[in-house]
């Protein structure tokens, strides 16, 4: 019996001999039709991962540029963006939950060679996304300043950020639809379409951002509100591209007029799966906020260093998330095709690739932490604590790689509750108490919090691996 590692090497080597890396890259970016339930798994992982990684890279570039431009308006503008993002947490949690459920259902139907059912799923998730967006938009448009004040924003931030909050919350449908329709494309194996829609959305935003913020040329000077207008318009253009792609008939996921009807049973299945996925996001997000609370007594420099380090980590992990998303598609499609063993091998191969990728990131963090922090802060204390966080957290990256892949494997199989329980245990019942003990009990201070992150994420990977090897996810019916 060959090991997962040797099989991964053989698969990728075989594919490379026949086609070459550049040929595979062109196919991945162009979106050449592929059957991911047949052929070399290493090749399948590569073809799916590349557009998903490029999609995430563009998202990270957008985030950095957006913050840089708004930062030129002053601290109140940056604070308005931060507070509004906190309000949008619920929207992003719902978008993530629906996206994971959509990928699982569409991938399973495509694996079963049932594109009609996959198209019906895409229609239902669009309907659910639109319905969910309505109450958020109403509240956001009606009481934007009141919401900012409720979050504790100072009067100056409320005044400057009212327009920004109104546009972001009022246009939240563009967030939900961009997420869930891209998830449908990924589940179908059309990852390049998802990539192009996000690139288009972010390209429009990057062009409009400086124009609307600073009033360049014929554009009005809207300040921080201009950033929200640019973002919402950019995402809306991305959604229009997605809808045109669905109706074009050129991909694996094609929506026709006959699919445009409400199906209650399918919506119930979609919502049932999305509950666990939404809770995964909320549990993880809340745990990070809990760690911030533990760090609060150690001063502003510590919190600032931690905040900057976490943002760097998130950006660095985006390509790894892209590869993990590929696993969800492969698992779902191969389970649908009645090939659970192939689905399992895909996880081992992707996990190995992801580990190699993150070990390279870890090396960069360990040896270049200070220069990275220097880009964001000139304060020596901020840089010292941020560098410490980067180094300590990176020591567990070999485990993180597997944890990310395993979580997405469960989600792709439609088992969204298992990673939810694992997250709850590892983050809230283990990480938070451990951080308190190390920071306060053993008097390690902030270093103890950073160590708790590394240990908890490593434990998550080990627990996930133990549950994964039991194989019950293979029997999941969605």
310 and 166 in a single domain? The answer is no
pLDDT of residue 8: 44
pTM of the model: 0.85
**Which contacts of 286-289 are long-range, i.e. CB under 8 A and separated by 24 or more positions?**
286/428, 287/427, 287/428, 287/431, 287/432
250 and 398 in a single domain? The answer is no
45 and 88 in a single domain? The answer is no
Structure-block tokens of residue 289: 């906020």
Decide if 269 is inside a domain: no
Decide if 60 is inside a domain: no
216 and 169 in a single domain? The answer is yes
Domain ends where: 262, 286, 318?
Answer: 262
Decide if 139 is inside a domain: yes
Decide if 32 is inside a domain: no
pLDDT of residue 17: 46
pLDDT of residue 292: 79
201 and 228 in a single domain? The answer is yes
- Interval 382-440: pLDDT, tens: 889 889 999 999 999 999 999 999 999 999 999 989 999 999 999 999 999 999 999 98
Q: How far is CA 288 from the centre of its chain?
A: 16
Write the burial class of residue 296 (CB in 10 Å: 0-12 exposed, 13-18 middle, 19+ buried): exposed
CB atoms within 10 A of CB 215: 14
- Interval 279-323: pLDDT, tens: 988 888 888 778 878 887 887 778 778 877 887 888 788 888 888
Q: How far is CA 119 from CA 89, 92, 258, 264, 329, in A?
A: 29, 24, 10, 15, 16
Given a contact cutoff of 8 angstroms between Cβ atoms, the answer to whether 405 and 350 are in contact is yes
pLDDT of residue 130: 95
Domain of residue 353, residue span: 1-24+39-54+276-478
Give pLDDT tens digits along the chain (478 positions).
344 444 444 444 444 445 677 888 888 888 778 888 888 888 888 888 888 888 877 777 776 677 778 877 887 887 788 788 878 888 988 999 999 999 999 999 999 999 999 999 999 999 999 999 999 999 999 999 999 888 878 888 889 899 999 999 999 999 999 999 999 999 999 989 999 999 999 899 999 999 999 999 899 999 999 999 999 999 999 999 999 999 998 888 999 999 999 999 999 999 998 998 889 888 888 887 788 788 878 877 787 788 778 878 887 888 888 889 899 999 999 999 999 999 999 999 999 999 999 999 999 999 988 888 887 777 788 889 889 999 999 999 999 999 999 999 999 999 989 999 999 999 999 999 999 999 988 988 899 999 999 999 999 999 999 999 999 999 888 7
2 and 101 in a single domain? The answer is no
90 and 160 in a single domain? The answer is yes
Largest CA distance in the chain: 67
Domain ends where: 262, 284, 303?
Answer: 262
pLDDT of residue 5: 43
257 and 283 in a single domain? The answer is no
197 and 301 in a single domain? The answer is no
233 and 298 in a single domain? The answer is no
346 and 441 in a single domain? The answer is yes
Distance in angstroms (rounded) separating the CA atoms of residues 309 and 383 = 9
Decide if 267 is inside a domain: no
Decide if 63 is inside a domain: no
pLDDT of residue 323: 86
Decide if 116 is inside a domain: yes
pLDDT of residue 19: 63
pLDDT of residue 7: 44
17 and 115 in a single domain? The answer is no
Domain count, the chain: 2
Domain ends where: 262, 291, 310?
Answer: 262
């Amino acid at each position: 019996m060959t090991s997962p590692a040797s099989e991964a090497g053989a698969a990728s080597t075989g594919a490379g001999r026949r086609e070459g890396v550049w040929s595979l890259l062109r196919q991945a970016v162009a979106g050449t039709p592929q059957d991911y339930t047949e052929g070399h798994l290493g090749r399948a992982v590569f073809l799916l991962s590349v557009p998903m990684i490029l999609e995430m890279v563009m998202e990270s570039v957008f985030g950095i540029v957006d913050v840089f431009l708004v930062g030129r308006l002053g601290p109140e503008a940056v604070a308005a963006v931060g507070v509004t993002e906190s309000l949008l947490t619920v929207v992003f949690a719902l978008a993530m939950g629906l996206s994971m459920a959509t990928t699982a259902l569409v991938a399973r139907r495509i694996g079963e060679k049932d594109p009609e059912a996959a198209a019906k799923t895409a229609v239902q998730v669009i309907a659910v996304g639109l319905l969910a967006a309505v109450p958020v938009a109403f509240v956001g448009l009606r009481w934007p300043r009141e919401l900012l004040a409720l979050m504790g924003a100072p009067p100056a931030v409320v005044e400057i950020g009212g327009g920004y909050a109104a546009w972001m919350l009022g246009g939240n449908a563009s967030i939900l639809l961009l997420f869930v329709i891209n998830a449908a494309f990924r589940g179908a194996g059309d990852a390049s379409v998802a990539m192009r829609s996000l690139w288009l959305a972010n390209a429009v935003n990057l062009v409009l951002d400086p124009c609307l913020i600073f009033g360049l040329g014929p554009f009005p000077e809207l300040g921080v509100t201009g950033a929200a207008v640019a973002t919402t318009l950019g995402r809306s253009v991305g959604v229009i591209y997605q809808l045109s792609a669905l109706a074009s008939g050129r991909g694996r996921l094609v929506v026709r007029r006959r699919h445009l009807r409400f199906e209650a049973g399918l919506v119930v299945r979609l919502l049932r799966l999305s509950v666990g996925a939404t809770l995964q996001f909320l549990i993880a997000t809340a745990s990070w906020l809990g760690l911030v609370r533990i760090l609060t007594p150690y001063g502003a420099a510590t919190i600032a260093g931690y905040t900057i380090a976490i943002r760097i980590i998130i950006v660095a992990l985006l390509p790894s998330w892209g590869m993990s998303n590929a696993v969800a598609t492969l698992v779902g499609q191969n389970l649908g095709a009645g090939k659970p063993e192939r689905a399992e091998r895909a996880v081992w191969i992707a996990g190995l690739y992801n580990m190699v990728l993150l070990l390279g990131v870890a090396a960069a963090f360990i040896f270049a932490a200070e220069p990275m922090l220097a880009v964001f802060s000139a304060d020596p204390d901020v840089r010292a604590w941020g560098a410490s966080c980067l180094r300590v957290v990176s020591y567990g990256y070999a485990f993180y790689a597997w944890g990310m892949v395993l979580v997405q494997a469960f989600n792709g199989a439609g088992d969204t509750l298992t990673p939810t329980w694992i997250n709850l245990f590892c983050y809230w019942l283990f990480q938070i108490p451990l951080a308190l003990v190390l920071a306060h009990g053993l008097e390690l201070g902030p270093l103890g919090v950073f160590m708790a992150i590394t240990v908890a994420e490593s434990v998550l990977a080990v627990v996930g691996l133990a549950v994964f090897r039991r194989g019950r996810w293979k029997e999941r019916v969605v």
